[in-house]
Amino acid sequence: VVQQVKVGFLGCGTVGSEAVRILRDRSDAIRRYTGVDLGVARVAVRDPGKDRDLPSDWLTTDAESVVADPEVAVVVELMGGLDPAGELVAAALRSGKPVVTANKELVSKRGGELLDLAEKANVDFLFEAAVGGGIPLIRPIAESLAGEDIRRVMGIVNGTTNYILTRMTEEGGSFDDILADAQRLGYAEADPSADVDGHDAAQKAAILASLAFGTRVHADDVFTEGIRGVSGEDIEMARRLGYVVKPLAVCEFVDGDEVSVRVHPAMLPDTHPLANVRLSMNAVFVEGTSAGEQMFYGAGAGGGPTAIAVVGDIVDAARNLVQGARGPHMSRPALHPVRDITRIDNEFYLRLEVVDRPGVLAALAGAFGDNGVSIKSLIQEGHGDDAEIVLVTHTCAESDMRETLVELASLDSVEEVAAVIRVLGEDE
């Protein structure tokens, strides 16, 4: 028996307009595959005067009326931001309507509370599109890998920063020049801060960690370092050392009870699967004890890819609704504390500008030795004013590295600590 389910949209911009189009164009196929006849009932927007390919009687500026409309059985939130999206989503869930959203900010800051509301009302709160755009990721982690003991999730989850670092790597340009070009080409926003300073990736990392480890991580608990400090020199040096600099989100289960969730540029061995994820593509690499390594790859943003993930969720929510069922609960977290970055171990790449005279290496070795940090490899470059030392350490705690950096900065022979970049994917 084919069941009719009507959908109400809150927002119909880049993602929403594509999701509405797909629901209309693919309705026959969706009905054949799933047995659910999906239709759009209402669409809330801010500016009803905009030119849109929608029947005018669907449109309203009153988003609350869409949530309250008895004809609307599934609410799809694609307006973005916390306010008013958060209250609208909460109201929908409270009234027993499943909600689908792509809003990573909302999920990473109020997800726990909204999942609790969904659980209470026994309906779905689904957000496949919030991380990795069109890449199926949330459902595979929450459902297909439910039995897996996930140890680490490492991802390139921000297309803008991957695009910038890839072009810096392949063309040798500076951060500022490539950013300006990315803005001109539409790969970066006029205000690039959410991307280049890591906030967008931090929200996605919080969601990934919460799902992978069955806990709750708030976006504000994610250690976040952007890519503005990555120079062409370090990218070139990375290449010579066999590494690629990538914008990473890292979620790790540490010592059986805590999690580490962080976003920062990192050097990866050039043979690592994530090292070959280029330009604006996204990928998430999952390491588990039974299935081993898996990688999910695809377009992390854009109207089409993101809308595909949204429509997948709508189909799920609608099918569950007509069957009186619910998808994965995701709402009974174990609450693992987030470990402070100072207690996290990494290898580190350092580039030091040094004075060109005897005894420099001994002084440096002392600073590392005093803090229990051992050096894995070291290259001495240039002469006179251009003398540089580039080195990679063995694994050490962030706090020990910070102490080492303070001591290095105090040495007469060190003019500047020019770069510090974490190195992942080796020595484990």
The catalytic residues are: 204
**One residue of 1, 28, 47, 358 binding ligand NAP per CB under 6 A:** 47
Strand partners, 389: 352, 380
Rounded CA separation 280/157 (Å): 9
Q: Are strands 3-10 and 74-77 parallel, antiparallel or unpaired?
A: parallel
Distance (Å) of CA 317 to CA 190, 214, 303, 314: 36, 21, 21, 5
Which parts of 169-188 interact with ligand NAP (CB under 6 A)? none
Give the count of residues interacting with ligand NAP (CB under 6 A). 24
Structure tokens at 21: 């189009």
12: contact with ligand NAP by CB under 6 A: yes
Distance (Å) of CA 234 to CA 43, 173, 182, 229, 230: 49, 12, 20, 10, 7
**One residue of 5, 7, 30, 44 binding ligand NAP per CB under 6 A:** 44
CB 39, min distance to ligand NAP, A: 19
Nearer to ligand NAP, 47 or 386 (CB): 47
Rounded CA separation 362/166 (Å): 36
Site pattern 123..162 for ligand NAP (x: CB under 6 A): ------x---x-----------------------------
Rounded CA separation 309/314 (Å): 9
Rounded CA separation 310/41 (Å): 16
Which parts of 65-94 interact with ligand NAP (CB under 6 A)? 78-80, 84
Nearer to ligand NAP, 15 or 182 (CB): 15
Q: Which stretch binds ligand NAP (CB under 6 A): 11-19, 113-121, 311-319, 328-336?
A: 11-19
Nearer to ligand NAP, 46 or 120 (CB): 46
Place of tokens 């690039």: 192
**One residue of 63, 150, 209, 389 binding ligand NAP per CB under 6 A:** 63
301: contact with ligand NAP by CB under 6 A: yes
**One residue of 30, 103, 162, 275 binding ligand NAP per CB under 6 A:** 103
262: nearest Cα among 333, 341, 194, 337? 341
Binding footprint of ligand NAP on the chain (CB under 6 A): 11-16, 44-47, 50, 63, 78-80, 84, 102-104, 129, 133, 301-302, 306
